[in-house]
């Protein structure tokens, strides 16, 4: 097992990883930007090193500085968390070159699956169902237009290098196609430095169902069940739950497809296979080759510490359980708490946390990095924490998350707390009647009691 791990991240996920390292008796090295020197991950780690200025590309994305820090501090492994360099094949390769273990899959796998149109092709070869669409990337606008007519509208134009819901546009008809294509392409070029585009049939009102996978270096592959991440705003997840309400027969088919997907690329470490489900048909959309924001709900229903498993797999250990050993218990819900102003088009709301009361109790978990006096920086993602609950049934979990959202007090910055509360209290959400359009369709009602003026 490793003795020292560097955590190439910040915020709640850095804190989360440090905690599992502490449970395992592994020393940790935090990295931080100049403005993050008082951040919780810096205080919790055994050692910390400043790697640059506030702007991400001068610090948390600065591969050279991070690798140098790891070498100088004697780290044997690097955990990338999510976001930043977690799905950067070049960074994983750099780690491999200097002999530091990257806690994640091989750089080759990240490259294969990070290219979303390439991943689609690999899945077609592996006989995993994908959304009907283009074979690989389209050459140009006129090629795309011809293909779109064949596939049939509505069409979703997607960036092959895309992520976080960016570089994606819908065209409902041929008249809208050119503008949608050019807008998506420009956005992709600016955000990812890559304007390669592919097409998918736009599925109306699907559910987003994803499987948490764990694969060791010896070909052992298990799934830890699925998560329903359909509550989204602008294609970004807001509330997740596990298990989903899908039929058991479909769950089993999806699980088998997810296992097939991982095996087909000799996947190693933790990963997620994302599917869309429409009219009882499911389609692969992408694989995330890293730990995900919503991993805690899976931990709550399985009792498995996924970060610990990631570290053990990276250290060359065999999975200590088989599929039949994994027990699913109860229901878990996670709400993403953001420093933002929902009423003002969800504009970020950075500032200083003046007052904080965090609810607790059986089956209540708050993954975060905030404390009274901590600063929410304008430079980074606006997520400040995740409220996670677990209970025996979905109905009880809903009551519990409602109670925790009522009890939580955060003063100093504005958050989406009441927006989350309104979702949880929506009759259709409570009945489990929702899909990826839920927030869009209910936006006005969900904002009704937002106190922000």
Q: Which is nearer to ligand ADP, 286 or 309 (CB)?
A: 286
Stretch of residues binding ligand ADP (CB under 6 A), selected from 81-89, 200-208, 217-225, 293-301: 200-208
Could you tell me if 198 and 256 are in contact, meaning their C-beta atoms sit under 8 angstroms apart?
A: no
Burial of 410 (0-12, 13-18, 19+ CB in 10 A): buried
CA 439 to chain CA centroid, nearest Å: 19
**Would you put residue 382 in left (φ > 0), alpha (ψ -120 to 50) or beta?**
alpha
The residues with which 48 forms a beta bridge, in sequence order, are: 30
- Residue 243 Cβ vs ligand ADP, minimum distance, rounded to whole Å: 18
Q: Which is nearer to ligand ADP, 200 or 367 (CB)?
A: 200
Q: Please tell me whether residue 114 binds ligand ADP under the rule CB under 6 A.
A: no
Query: Which run of H or of E encompasses 263?
Result: helix 248-264
Which of 30, 131, 258, 313 is in the footprint of ligand ADP by CB under 6 A? 131
Q: Please tell me whether residue 206 binds ligand ADP under the rule CB under 6 A.
A: yes
Task: Please give the residues from 389 up to 408 whose contact with ligand ADP meets the rule CB under 6 A.
Answer: none
In 3D space, the residue among 252, 282, 266 whose CA is nearest the CA of residue 221 turns out to be: 266
Q: Which is nearer to ligand ADP, 200 or 309 (CB)?
A: 200
Q: Please tell me whether residue 232 binds ligand ADP under the rule CB under 6 A.
A: yes
- Residue 285 Cβ vs ligand ADP, minimum distance, rounded to whole Å: 4
Q: Which is nearer to ligand ADP, 272 or 415 (CB)?
A: 272
Q: Which is nearer to ligand ADP, 164 or 361 (CB)?
A: 164
Q: Which is nearer to ligand ADP, 283 or 366 (CB)?
A: 283
Of 10, 227, 251, 290, the active-site residue reads 290
Task: Please give the residues from 317 up to 356 whose contact with ligand ADP meets the rule CB under 6 A.
Answer: none
Contacts of 425 (CB under 8 A, 6+ apart): 402
Q: Please tell me whether residue 162 binds ligand ADP under the rule CB under 6 A.
A: yes
- Residue 6 Cβ vs ligand ADP, minimum distance, rounded to whole Å: 27
**What single string gives the DSSP state of each residue in 91-158?**
HHHHHHHHT-EESSS-HHHHHHHHSHHHHHHHHHHTT--B-SB-SS---SHHHHHHHHHHH-SSEEEE
Neighbours of 432 (CB within 10 A): 12
55 cis-preceded (ω within 30 degrees of 0): no
Residue 40, phi then psi, degrees to nearest 5: -60, -35
Could you tell me if 330 and 437 are in contact, meaning their C-beta atoms sit under 8 angstroms apart?
A: no
Burial of 35 (0-12, 13-18, 19+ CB in 10 A): middle
Q: Please tell me whether residue 426 binds ligand ADP under the rule CB under 6 A.
A: no
In 3D space, the residue among 64, 63, 61, 65 whose CA is nearest the CA of residue 50 turns out to be: 65
290 among known catalytic residues: yes
Stretch of residues binding ligand ADP (CB under 6 A), selected from 42-50, 203-211, 250-258, 439-447: 203-211
Which of 87, 274, 309, 334 is in the footprint of ligand ADP by CB under 6 A? 274
Stretch of residues binding ligand ADP (CB under 6 A), selected from 136-144, 202-210, 326-334, 381-389: 202-210
Q: Please tell me whether residue 289 binds ligand ADP under the rule CB under 6 A.
A: no
Q: Please tell me whether residue 213 binds ligand ADP under the rule CB under 6 A.
A: no
Which of 106, 111, 120, 208 is in the footprint of ligand ADP by CB under 6 A? 208
Task: Please give the residues from 32 up to 61 whose contact with ligand ADP meets the rule CB under 6 A.
Answer: none
Q: Which is nearer to ligand ADP, 54 or 191 (CB)?
A: 191
**What single string gives the DSSP state of each residue in 357-421?**
E----TTEEEEE---TT-EE-SSS-SEEEEEEEEESSHHHHHHHHHHHHHH-EEESS--SHHHHH
Give the Cα separation of 230 and 154 in Å (integer).
20
Q: Which is nearer to ligand ADP, 208 or 365 (CB)?
A: 208
Q: Please tell me whether residue 436 binds ligand ADP under the rule CB under 6 A.
A: yes
Q: Please tell me whether residue 286 binds ligand ADP under the rule CB under 6 A.
A: yes
Residue 246, phi then psi, degrees to nearest 5: -70, 160
**Would you put residue 392 in left (φ > 0), alpha (ψ -120 to 50) or beta?**
alpha
Stretch of residues binding ligand ADP (CB under 6 A), selected from 161-169, 191-199, 315-323, 422-430: 161-169
Which of 179, 186, 235, 281 is in the footprint of ligand ADP by CB under 6 A? 235
Q: Interface residues with ligand ADP (CB under 6 A)?
A: 131, 156, 162-165, 200, 202-203, 206, 208, 232, 235, 274, 276, 285-286, 436
Residues labelled as active-site residues: 290
């Amino acid at each position: 097992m490793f003795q020292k791990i560097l955590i190439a991240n910040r915020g709640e996920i850095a804190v989360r990883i440090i905690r599992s390292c502490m449970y395992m008796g592994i020393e940790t090295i935090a990295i931080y930007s100049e403005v993050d020197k008082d951040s919780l991950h810096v205080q919790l780690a055994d050692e910390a090193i400043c790697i640059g200025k506030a702007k991400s590309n001068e610090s948390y994305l600065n591969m050279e500085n991070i690798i140098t820090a790891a070498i100088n501090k004697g780290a044997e492994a690097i955990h990338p968390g999510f976001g930043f360099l977690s799905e950067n094949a070049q960074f994983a390769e750099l780690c491999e070159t200097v002999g530091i273990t990257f806690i994640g899959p091989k750089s080759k796998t990240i490259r294969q699956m990070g290219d979303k149109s390439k991943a689609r092709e690999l899945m077609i070869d592996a006989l995993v169902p994908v959304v009907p669409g283009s074979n690989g990337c389209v050459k140009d606008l006129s090629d795309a237009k011809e293909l779109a007519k064949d596939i049939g509208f509505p069409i979703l134009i997607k960036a092959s290098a895309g992520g976080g819901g960016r570089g994606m546009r819908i065209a409902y008809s041929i008249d809208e196609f050119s503008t949608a294509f050019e807008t998506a392409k420009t956005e992709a070029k600016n955000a990812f430095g890559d304007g390669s585009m592919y097409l998918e049939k736009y599925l109306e009102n699907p559910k987003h169902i994803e499987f948490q996978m764990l694969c060791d270096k010896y070909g052992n592959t298990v799934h830890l069940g699925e998560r329903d991440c359909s509550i989204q705003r602008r294609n970004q997840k807001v509330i997740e739950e596990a298990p989903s309400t899908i039929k058991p027969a479909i769950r089993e088919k999806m699980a088998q497809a997810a296992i097939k997907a991982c095996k087909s690329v000799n996947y190693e470490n933790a990963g997620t296979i994302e599917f869309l489900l429409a009219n009882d048909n499911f389609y692969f959309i992408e694989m995330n080759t890293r730990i995900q924001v919503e991993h805690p709900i899976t931990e709550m229903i399985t009792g498995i510490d996924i970060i610990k498993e990631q570290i053990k797999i990276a250290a060359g250990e065999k999975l200590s359980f088989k599929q039949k050993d994994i027990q699913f218990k109860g229901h878990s819900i996670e709400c993403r708490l953001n420093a933002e102003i929902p009423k003002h088009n969800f504009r970020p709301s950075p500032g200083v946390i003046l007052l904080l009361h965090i609810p607790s109790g059986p089956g209540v978990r708050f993954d975060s990095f905030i404390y009274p006096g901590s600063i929410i920086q304008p430079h980074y993602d606006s997520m400040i924490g995740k409220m996670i609950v677990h209970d025996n049934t979905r109905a009880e979990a809903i009551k519990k998350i409602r109670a925790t959202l009522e009890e939580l007090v955060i003063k100093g910055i504005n958050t989406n707390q009441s927006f989350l509360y309104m979702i949880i209290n929506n009759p259709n959400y409570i009945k489990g009647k929702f899909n990826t359009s839920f927030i869009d369709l209910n936006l006005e009602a969900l904002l009704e009691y937002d106190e922000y003026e």
